[in-house]
Amino acid sequence: MNFKLIISSILMLAFCQTLSSKELNSIKESDSLEPVVKIEEFKNFFKSGNYYFGGQPTLESLDWLKSEGVGVVINLRTEDENEDYTNYAYNEENIVKEKGMEYISLPVSYPDSYNPETLAQFSEILKKNDGKVFIHCRSCGRVTYFFMAYLVEYKEYSLNEAIEFGKQMKFSFALEDLLGKEIEMTIKE
C-alpha cells in the first residue's frame, strides 16, 4: 500500500473526528439550510432559502408568494379544515391553480398522521419539488414539526440541530424555559 495514502487517510480521519456533528453537516452544502427569516408582512410566515413556511395564507400572501417565484403550495390542513375555510373565505386549491402554482394537499392531524409513513410522503413531495415551495397549515405548527422531522430523518441533521431550526419558527420547548437551561436531546435507536 502507498505510504502517502495511509498518512493521508490517518490525517483525514483525525480531522473528521475533531469536527462536531454540526460542523460535519455544514460541510454538506447541499443539505444545509439558510437561517430562518420571519416575513413581517404576514402572520406566522417564515423563509429559509427556497422554503417558505406559514399559517393559512391570505389572498395577499398568495400574490406575494407568487411574486417571490414560489411554484408549489403544500397544504397540511385536513380536509375538514379546508372545507370550513372554503365556506367562509376562499377555495385555496382553485386560487393557487389560477395563479399558476401547483397545489398539493397532504392532510395532517395529530395523532393520526404523526407517523413515519406520513413523514415519508412529505419527504417524497419535497424531493419532487426542488424549486421554491410554500408549506402551510393553520398556524405553522404542524409545518414546523414535520419539517424538523424531515431534517432529522432525511437530511441527517441531529435532533438538536433540527430543534434549533424549529425554534426560529413555531417550535418551543417549555421545559427549557422553565429550567432556564438549554436541553440537549438524543433519539434512541
- Kindly report, residue by residue over 112-125, the tens digit of the pLDDT: 999 999 999 999 99
Q: Where are the beta strands (DSSP E) in 76-132?
A: 102-105
Residue 172: predicted pLDDT: 85
**Average model confidence (pLDDT) for the chain?**
86
Q: Which CATH architecture group holds 38-179?
A: Alpha-Beta Complex (3.90)
- Dihedral of the alpha carbons of 170, 136, 31, 63, in degrees to the nearest 10: -120
pTM: 0.81
What's the Cα-to-Cα distance from 106 to each of 92, 168, 176, rounded to whole Å?
14, 23, 31
Q: How many helices (DSSP H) and strands (DSSP E) are in the chain?
A: 9, 6
pLDDT band of residue 2 (cuts 50, 70, 90) is very low
What's the Cα-to-Cα distance from 99 to each of 60, 67, 72, rounded to whole Å?
12, 10, 11
Residue 32: predicted pLDDT: 72
pLDDT band of residue 26 (cuts 50, 70, 90) is very low
Asked whether the predicted pLDDT for residue 70 surpasses 70, the reply is: yes
**DSSP codes joined into one string, 73-89:** EEE-S-HHHHHHHHHHS
Residue 125: phi, psi to the nearest 5?
Answer: -60, -45
- Report yes or no: 146 and 122 within 8 Å, Cβ to Cβ: yes
Burial of 121-140, coded b for 16+ CB within 10 Å and e otherwise, reads ebbebbeebeebbbbbbbeb
Residue 56: predicted pLDDT: 97
Say how far apart CA 165 and CA 51 lie, in whole Å: 13
pLDDT band of residue 75 (cuts 50, 70, 90) is very high
- Dihedral of the alpha carbons of 114, 82, 144, 35, in degrees to the nearest 10: 150
Say how far apart CA 134 and CA 50 lie, in whole Å: 9
pLDDT band of residue 150 (cuts 50, 70, 90) is very high
What is the mean predicted confidence (pLDDT) over 23-46? Answer: 74
Longest distance between any two alpha carbons in the chain, whole Å = 74
